[in-house]
Amino acid sequence: MGNILDNNRSTTFRMTVTAMFAAIIAVASWISVPLPFTPVPINLATLAVAAAGAVLGYKYGTISVLIYILLGAAGVPVFAGFTGGLGHIAGPTGGYIVGYLTSAFITGIVFRSTCKDKIKWYGAAAAAFLGTASCYILGTIWFMVLTGNGLMASLSMCVIPFIPGDIFKIAAFVVLMTALDPVMKRFAAGQ
């Protein structure tokens, strides 16, 4: 199954949908809960990033995340807590924001390869899991380098507390993609 930007869609359509997903990622980032023991908040951005990769494909999904990051770097308050600026990207949690790029890319590739003809729950789950894991890896390495914390301290602050929520977001992603299967087929067919 293709993504909704396949089949010679117009440049205007591609740009509009890509920008729309950048906005969806921003809104999902705003829905956040700060935690007292870590600078990393709980938010819905990883779900939106996975959806961008799956719906738009790895290329345009990654571009939508890049637009989101560039807007935030320019100071537009698109990051968690209605914040923006280069300081957020250069800071200890910036690796997770940059990790959204790898997440959209990997989710898009895995989703497309496992859900070619029909969206399968296990293919969607694998795509979201691998995309989220790539974000965790990049973000945790970045956090360790900038804070000087060891692996276990970084995992206990930046990964382990978020696993239950990410399991829920992966399940929500599977339900969302399964529900969108007929719509995505119509778009892929050019209708």
What is the mean predicted confidence (pLDDT) over 57-71? 96
Note down the domain range covering 179. 11-188
Statement: residue 190 has pLDDT above 60: no
**Pairwise CA distance, residues 140 & 95, whole Å:** 7
- At 186 the pLDDT is 64
5, part of any domain: no
4, part of any domain: no
Number of domains in the chain: 1
154, part of any domain: yes
What is the mean predicted confidence (pLDDT) over 1-22? 78
Contacts of 90 (CB under 8 A, 6+ apart): none
- At 1 the pLDDT is 53
Statement: residue 22 has pLDDT above 80: yes
Instruction: Give the predicted TM-score (pTM) of the model.
Output: 0.90
142, part of any domain: yes
CATH of the domain at 53: 1.10.1760.20
The mean of the pLDDT values for the chain is: 90
2, part of any domain: no
- At 191 the pLDDT is 41
pLDDT one-digit tens code per residue, 87-104? 999 999 999 999 999 999
**Residue 168 burial (10 A CB sphere; 0-12, 13-18, 19+):** exposed
Share of the chain above pLDDT 90, in %: 73
